[in-house]
Structure 1
Amino acid sequence: MNGISSTSYMSIAARYEHSGSGVTPGNPLIDALPLDANVEDALNRLSHFPPKPGLGERKSSELVRIAELARLGQLCIPLKAHNKASIQLNRLIKQAYERRNPFSVEDLQRRHLIALTDASSVPLAVSPDDKALVLAILGVSGSGKSTFADAFGLPFNVVIEHRSHADRSLNLRQIPWLKLRMPHDGTLKALCTQFFARVDSILGSTNYAQAARSVRLLRHIAPLMQQVVTAISLGVLVLDEFQNLRSAKGEELHMLLEFLLTLSKVTGVAIVIIGTPAIDQVLPKRVRAKLGLSTAGECGFAPLRGQDWKEFGDRYWEYQFVKNPGPLTPAIRAAWYRASAGNPGFASTSFVLAQRLEIGGREQLDAASFERVRYTEMATLGPAVQALRRGDPRSLMGFDDLLPRSDTGSLMDLFTGVPRPNPEGKGPDAGEFEDFATGVSTSFTKSRQSTAKDRVSHRN
Structure 2
Amino acid sequence: MTNSSDQSYFKTAEYIDPGLPEYADNPLIAALSPINSVNDVVEMLNKRPKFDDKEINLKGHVRVHAISRLTRDFFVPQTTHLVLEQKFSQLIRKSYLGRNPKTATFKRKLNQMRSIIQNQDLTSYVHSESNSNASSMAISGISGAGKSTATNKILNNYDKVIYHPEYQLLQVPWIKIDCPYEGSLSEFCESFFIALDKRLNTRYRDKYTAGRPTIGKMIADVADLCLIHAIGLIVVDEFQHMNLAKSGGEKKMINFLVTLVNVVEVSIVLIGTPTALRLFSNEFRQARRASGEGSIVWDKMAFDESWDDFLLELFQYQWLESHTELDEAFTHILYELSQGIPDIAVKLFCLAQARAILLAKSPDEECLTTGLFNDVFEEEFSIVKPMLDALRTNDKKALEACKDIVIPKIESGLLNGFDHLKAMPLKIPKRIETGDSLQNDVVNNAISTLISMGVTEDIVRPLVQDCIASNPEVSLIDIIHQATSSFTTTSTANIKKGPKKISKSTSNKVKEMDWGQLSQSDLRKVYSSKSGTMYEALKENGHIYPIKQFLAG
What is the TM-score of this pair, normalised by structure 2? 0.67
Q: Which residue of 2 aligns with 1:223?
A: 220
Which one of 194, 200, 210 corresponds to residue 197 of structure 1? 194
How many Å apart are 1:255 and its aligned residue?
A: 1.2
Deviates more, 1:389-398 or 1:328-337: 389-398
Is the 1:186–1:248 Cα contact (8 Å) retained in structure 2? Answer: no
Match of 1:349 among 347, 350, 353: 347
Distance 1:90 1:177, change over 3 A: same
Distance change (3 Å), C-alpha of 1:353 and 1:301? same
Partner of 1:444: none
Moved more, 170-179 or 37-46: 37-46
Equivalent pairs, count: 400
2:70 to 69, 72, 79: 72
Deviation per CA, 1:304-327: give whole Å up to 9, x if none. 111221111111101111111121
- Report whether the alignment pairs 1:85 with 2:88: no
Identity percentage of aligned residues: 26
Task: Please state whether the residue corresponding to 1:100 is helix, strand or coil.
Answer: coil
Partner of 1:128: 129
**1:289 counterpart = 2:285:** yes
Distance verdict in 2 for CA 1:107–1:120, change over 3 Å? closer
Residue type at the aligned position of 1:237 = I
Provide the residue aligned with 2:147 in structure 1: 145
| Cα distance in structure 1, aligned partners of 2:123 and 2:330 | 60
Establish whether residue 333 from structure 1 lines up as the match of residue 335 from structure 2.
no
**Deviation string, structure 1 residues 245-285 (Cα, Å, up to 9, x no partner):** 355358333212211111121111111111112315653x6
In 1, the alpha carbon distance for the partners of 2:370 and 2:204 equals 57
* RMSD, aligned α-carbons: 2.6
Distance verdict in 2 for CA 1:69–1:157, change over 3 Å: same
2:320 and 2:171 map into 1 onto residues whose CA distance is: 49
Q: Is the 8 A contact 1:86 1:152 kept in 2?
A: yes
Q: For the residues of structure 1 that align with 2:34 and 2:212, how far apart are their CA atoms?
A: 37
Show CA shifts across 1:45-67 (max 9, x none). 1111122341x222221101111
Relative to structure 1, the CA distance from residue 366 to residue 76 in structure 2 (aligned partners, 3 Å threshold; closer, same or farther) is same
Report if the CA contact (8 A) 1:136-1:294 is conserved. Answer: no
2:487 matched to which residue of 1? none
Indicate if the aligned counterparts of 2:32 and 2:159 stay in contact, CA closer than 8 A: no
Residue aligning to 2:508: none
Letter in 2 for 1:64: V
Displacement of 1:137 in angstroms is: 1.6
Partner of 1:436: none
| Contact residue 137 and residue 268 of structure 2 kept, 8 A | yes
CA deviation after TM superposition for structure 1 residue 199, in Å: 1.5
Q: Does 1:399 align with 2:399?
A: no
In the alignment, residue 24 of structure 1 is paired with which amino acid? Answer: Y
Cα distance in 2 for partners of 1:187, 1:416 equals 36
TM-score (norm 1): 0.80
SS in 2 for 1:178: strand
CA distance in 2 between partners of 1:45 and 1:416 (Å)? 29
Cα distance in structure 1, aligned partners of 2:187 and 2:83: 32
Q: Name which of structure 1's ranges 196-205 and 237-246 shifts more when overlaid on structure 2.
A: 196-205
Once the two structures are TM-superposed, the CA of residue 83 in structure 1 deviates from its matched residue by: 0.8
Change (3 A) 1:10 1:124: farther
Structure 2 CA distance for aligned equivalents of residues 203 and 44 of structure 1: 29
Q: Within 1, Cα distance between the matches of 2:380 and 2:350? A: 11
Residues in 2 aligned to 1:365 and 1:340: alpha-carbon distance in whole angstroms: 16
Match of 1:178 among 170, 175, 179: 175
Aligned-pair distance for 1:197? Answer: 2.2
Q: Deviations over 1:92-136 (max 9, x none)?
A: 111111111123354332211234467565448534134561121
Q: Deviations over 1:191-247 (max 9, x none)?
A: 111111222232224535413434632122232222110000001111100112355
Determine helix, strand or coil for the equivalent of 2:68: helix
Aligned counterpart for 2:208 among listed residues 190, 211, 218: 211
1:313 matched to which residue of 2? 311
Q: Aligned residue for 2:388?
A: 385
CA contact (8 A) 1:159 1:174 kept: yes
Tell me which residue corresponds to 2:270: 273
Asked if structure 2 preserves the Cα contact closer than 8 Å seen for 1:197 and 1:209, the reply is no
Q: Which amino acid aligns with 2:350?
A: V
Q: Per the alignment, do residues 125 and 162 of structure 1 end up closer, same or farther by CA in structure 2, a change over 3 Å counting?
A: farther
| Matched letter for residue 59 of structure 1 | N
CA distance in 1, matches of 2:291, 2:246: 22
CA distance in 1, matches of 2:163, 2:242: 35
C-alpha distance in 2 between matches for 1:212 and 1:250: 16
Aligned AA (1:189) = S
**Number of the residue aligned with 2:297:** 300
Gaps of at least 5 residues in structure 1 are 165-169, 419-460
**Range 81-90 or range 382-391, more displaced:** 382-391
Unaligned runs of 5+ in 2: 418-553
CA spacing shift, 1:35–1:125, aligned 2, 3 Å: farther
Q: 1:163 touches 1:172 (CA, 8 Å); kept in 2?
A: yes
Question: Shift of residue 380 of structure 1?
Answer: 3.0
